[in-house]
Amino acid sequence: MRLGRMMASARQHFVNRRGSGDRILLGALASLGDRRTTDLAAAVMLDASAVSRGLHSLQQRGLVARRPDPNDGRGALLTITEAGRAQWKQYQAERDAKLDEVLTDWPEADRETLAVLLHRLNDDLAAHQHQLHQQQRGTTI
């Protein structure tokens, strides 16, 4: 539980830093595909109002586009644009360079162990988030 609170706090901190919210939202849209604002907020574990503000900024800059939801005419789906994908790739390159710099003195075996554990943590967090989302919708897995 403590880890979850720490991660939520860290995510909220990143959203409040200039550009960090962009990274989170563009990354989610790049990996998950088109989403409604509420579903995107749940996926990134952030408040829907903060996500909405971030998406509005991304849309104004042409990094995200809004289109009608074909399954619900009242709603809209958000999609990453080509410019958004290019920005996301730039963010990834910057992140990778920083990680390489931080891990430069780590032995290869330690890097591999870290990668395995981070993948496992990510998978477990995603499964847990999916389970919570299903419970909130009143369905079972």
What pLDDT score does 134 carry? 74
Let me know if residue 131 belongs to a domain. no
The string of pLDDT tens digits covering residues 18-47 is: 578 899 999 999 999 999 999 999 888 888
Closest to 76 in 3D by CA, of 56, 102, 105: 56
Let me know if residue 123 belongs to a domain. no
What pLDDT score does 40 carry? 93
* Stretch (H or E) spanning 114: helix 108-136
Let me know if residue 33 belongs to a domain. yes
**Is this model's pTM higher than 0.75 or not?**
no
Domain hosting residue 59, numbered range: 2-105
Let me know if residue 135 belongs to a domain. no
- CA dist 132 and 129 (Å) reads 5
Let me know if residue 80 belongs to a domain. yes
What pLDDT score does 135 carry? 76
What pLDDT score does 130 carry? 74
What pLDDT score does 79 carry? 96
- Is there a contact between 36 and 69 (Cβ–Cβ < 8 Å)? yes
pLDDT of 78 > 90? The answer is: yes
Let me know if residue 14 belongs to a domain. yes
Q: Range with the lowest mean pLDDT among 50-64, 82-96, 113-127?
A: 113-127
Q: What is the CATH number of the domain that holds 56?
A: 1.10.10.10
Let me know if residue 114 belongs to a domain. no
What pLDDT score does 65 carry? 97
Let me know if residue 32 belongs to a domain. yes
* Banded pLDDT at 136 (limits 50, 70, 90): confident
Domain total in the chain: 1
- Is there a contact between 58 and 25 (Cβ–Cβ < 8 Å)? yes
The string of pLDDT tens digits covering residues 39-68 is: 999 888 888 999 999 999 999 999 999 999
The amino acid present at 6, given as its one-letter code, is: M
Which stretches within 17-107 are classed as H helix? 20-32, 37-44, 48-60, 82-103
- CA dist 93 and 23 (Å) reads 12
